[in-house]
Amino acid sequence: MQLKLAENIKRYRKEMGLTQDGLAEALGVTIGAVSKWENGNNVPDITTLMELANLYNISMDELLSYDKSSKNIDKMVETIENLCDEHKFDEAVLEANSALTRYPHTFKVLLACAKLYYYKSYADMNAKDCDTAIDLMNRCLEYFSQNTDPEVKEFTIRLYIAELYMKKDPDKALAELKNINYNGCNDAIIGQLLLDMNNREECLEYSSMALLRNFGVQYQLMTNMSLAVASSGKAKDLRMAVDLLDASIVILDTYAVPDSIGYTHKLKTISLIIKAWWFACLKEYDAMEECVRDSYNLAVTYDKTPHKSSELSTSIRFYLCKHKTSVYDSLGATAVSGIEALFSQKIDGSNKINHKHLGKVIECWNRVKKNEP
């Protein structure tokens, strides 16, 4: 069985913040001996191995890191996760206890057990399970340097901890969530917690920010998906691309402030002109012209309406936050110039098959513009 002893001696030494000199002094050996261990040129005797495991606060299995041991860990973790998925929490706890006894300092084991108690605490509403989950999550942070899964981030573990505190200590949970609220990613859950804490005003502040951000993301996603789907040039995909834009337009209309012209209408002009493009690809020129006319007329109306073009918050019907939010529009200050800027860029995201049809849309736009009353 292959040993990874040299690698482990070095890795755990660095995790403890020890130099080779420091490790040598702690074990009563020379620096040269430590160097040979870490280079794989020599192996410590059994007594020194036991001292190393004790110093690193790990088991001999973990220090020696036999391939067989690694397979055992993976099997244990898989068993715990499967039992948890099946809601067989009592059986999962037995497996978790066994795994923690054998591998108390292995990140993969700690995380699987922490998630088990996290889910169990919600299923059984047990305060003790919640405390156990928090303790295990904190231990995961201690051993996070062992993590090799790119899908697992320190942020995720801290979010688990914050969510667990929502039950037992809402104030601490709120502080934790705000501390890791990178770019507003926790605004929605913070709003939920504030609602539970009967803090109406702050709940609306955070919830409004989350709603505004989700609105922007959804519009961008549906536009990008429409462009990507249509890039095949196939009729059925072009139909779906039109459907995506129709759904996006419904969302824009829903979020628009009633009886008011705002930034959502400028976004709608873009959706309409891209929709016209897909109709041109389908050679449905009457539908294309209708979309172009609707886009142009709305763009002119938007440009004639006094407003702060960069302010998005006043354009969203359900935005109930005191703070104003602005957006930088790379296409320009006016809706008409924005559409024409899109034409000059040939609208990124599609292929040459579709671009040859864009000329029809541009011709129609110029014709409608020229014949404006």
172 and 107, same structural domain?
yes
124 and 103, same structural domain?
yes
143 and 88, same structural domain?
yes
Q: How many CA atoms lie within 13 A of 371 on its CB side?
A: 7
151 and 25, same structural domain?
no
Sign of CA pseudo-dihedral 48, 49, 54, 56: positive
In a domain, 58, yes or no: yes
Q: Supply the pLDDT for residue 12.
A: 84
Three-class secondary structure of residue 255 per DSSP: helix
Least confident of 80-94, 200-214, 293-307, 323-337: 323-337
CA 64 vs CA 142, 146, 181, 303: distances in Å = 21, 15, 40, 71
87 and 35, same structural domain?
no
d(CA 281, CA 312): 32
Say which residues have a Cβ less than 8 Å from residue 42's Cβ, sequence separation at least 6: 33, 36
User: 267 pairs with which residues across the strands?
Assistant: none
What is the per-residue pLDDT across 288-313, written as a single tens digit (0 to 9) for each? 999 999 999 999 999 998 865 567 77
Whole-model pTM?
Answer: 0.73
- Rounded to 5 degrees, what are φ and ψ at 44? -65, 155
Structure tokens at 303: 């440009």
CA nearest to 310, candidates 299, 320, 324: 324
pLDDT band at 82 (very low <50, low <70, confident <90, very high): very high
110 and 240, same structural domain?
no
Range of the domain at 361: 208-370
Residues 225, 244 contacting (CB under 8 angstroms): yes
Residues 134, 122 contacting (CB under 8 angstroms): no
Structure tokens at 196: 């539970």
CA 198 vs CA 31, 170, 175, 194, 230: distances in Å = 61, 11, 16, 6, 47
CA 209 vs CA 205, 232, 251: distances in Å = 6, 36, 17
Residues 314, 308 contacting (CB under 8 angstroms): yes
Average pLDDT (112-140) is 94
CA nearest to 163, candidates 118, 107, 124: 118
What is the per-residue pLDDT across 198-243, written as a single tens digit (0 to 9) for each? 999 999 999 999 999 999 999 999 999 999 999 888 999 999 999 9
Average pLDDT (119-127) is 90
In a domain, 187, yes or no: no
Q: Supply the pLDDT for residue 1.
A: 35
156 and 232, same structural domain?
no
d(CA 315, CA 263): 6
CATH code of the domain containing 126: 1.25.40.10
CA nearest to 38, candidates 61, 12, 15: 12
Long-range contact pairs involving 349-355 (C-beta distance under 8 Å, separation at least 24): 349/224, 349/227, 349/228, 349/231, 350/227, 350/230, 350/231, 351/231, 351/233, 353/233, 353/281, 354/230, 354/231, 354/233, 354/277, 354/281
Share of the chain above pLDDT 70, in %: 93
In a domain, 201, yes or no: no
CATH code of the domain containing 351: 1.25.40
What is the total count of domains within the chain? Answer: 3
Reply yes or no on whether the pLDDT at 251 is more than 60: yes
What is the per-residue pLDDT across 10-44, written as a single tens digit (0 to 9) for each? 888 888 888 999 898 988 999 999 998 888 888 88
